[in-house]
Amino acid sequence: MKTFLIEKYGDQSAVRAAKSPDPRPGPEDVLVEIHAASVNPLDFKIRDGAFKAILPYRLPLILGNDLAGVVVQVGSAVTRFAVGDEVYARPDKDRIGTFAELIAVHQDDLAPKPSGLTMEQAASLPLVALTAWQALVERGRVRPGQKVLIHAGSGGVGTIALQLARHLGAHVATTASAANAGLVKELGADVVIDYRAEDFEELLDGYDLVLDTLGGEILDKSLRVLKPGGKVISIAGPPDADFARELGTGPVLRLAMSALSFRTRRRAKRRGVTYSFLFMKAGGDQLRELTRLIDAGDIRPVVDRVFPFGRTREALEYAEQGRAKAGKVVVSMA
């Protein structure tokens, strides 16, 4: 099958088109013919080797972290899907590889594709929608009337998190460019901070939850807009010991990760708030919950641009350079 992969960690030049063996599905696996996949910042980090200490992939490695497609084969123990089903998924972190014509995915990580979406629209959703769900519903437990700040509201995660926070009944603030103010308001933002001209720390106060998608100085400032007992959940900040435990790492790596986030956690504790790092997990059942919201019109995908599969390297470069105006960059096999 045709794929885009890396044979060594490196920059964009490490990505190349290649022929790879077709995957061999196990008893509980579903073989999916991929019709579309989307680009995520996680792709660049994996390519660079940023996670090689905690996610020791074997090289060569096919890149890509979410997909939409059609079931072409099911394993002997598969009970939830049949050949011909239209599906979408974020494969488990140990089984990525959606920049390809085929992939074998465990049936528990798949969900039926939302009926009203194209393959390209559906492919834009799994990773970012699961991230938003796990931050706001599973971990943040957002309730009606709570105040939530979502950074980079026009980004891949932000566009979905805004809509989910609105559905949950939260009062939502976001940071975005002035050019995207109209879009993020339409998606659910009550307050829009122009990050180029305004400092959100000076304008916001008393928030229950911050979803940090940027890290660094933004993360430090986010701690200061929370009320006592508030939470910062970050997908861009330093990992913590809880994340290491989720990965099943040994005590040395757990200690190292705890040290990486020590300064942030100490600052949070002094302010009476909490910090946690989120590395989203695959989950077909959560995707099914999200599908209900999508089919009901509560969440819609935001796609910036679609590239043909043969231009996957160009799609990665386009996204990595920040050229997308809003939402996701998608690769289509059609």
Print pLDDT tens along the chain (334 aa). 999 999 999 999 999 999 999 999 999 999 999 999 999 999 999 999 988 877 889 999 999 999 999 999 999 999 999 999 999 999 999 999 999 999 999 999 999 999 999 999 999 999 999 999 999 999 999 999 999 999 999 999 999 999 999 999 999 999 999 999 999 999 999 999 999 999 999 999 999 999 999 999 999 999 999 999 999 999 999 988 788 777 776 777 778 777 888 999 999 999 999 999 999 999 999 999 999 999 999 999 999 999 999 999 999 999 999 999 999 999 999 8
Q: Which CATH superfamily is domain 127-277 in?
A: NAD(P)-binding Rossmann-like Domain (3.40.50.720)
Within 10 angstroms of residue 83's Cβ, the number of other Cβ atoms is 11
The pTM score is 0.96
User: Which residue carries 């492919």 as its tokens?
Assistant: 123
d(CA 183, CA 325): 11
d(CA 94, CA 98): 12
d(CA 117, CA 134): 22
| CB neighbour class for 85 (10 Å; exposed up to 12, middle 13-18, buried from 19) | middle
Question: What's the Cα-to-Cα distance from 232 to each of 214, 266, 272, 273, rounded to whole Å?
Answer: 12, 13, 12, 8
β partners of residue 209: 148, 231
β partners of residue 303: 328
Fold of 2-125+301-332: Quinone Oxidoreductase; Chain A, domain 1 (3.90.180)
pLDDT for position 256: 78
CB 223 within 8 A of CB 268: yes
CB 5 within 8 A of CB 64: no
pLDDT for position 252: 77
Domain spans of the chain? 2-125+301-332, 127-277
d(CA 5, CA 20): 9
Positive or negative CA dihedral for 186, 187, 191, 196? negative
CB 19 within 8 A of CB 8: no
pLDDT for position 259: 85
**Strand ranges inside 56-119, DSSP E:** 61-62, 67-74, 86-89, 102-106, 110-112
Closest CA to 165 of 183, 143, 192: 143
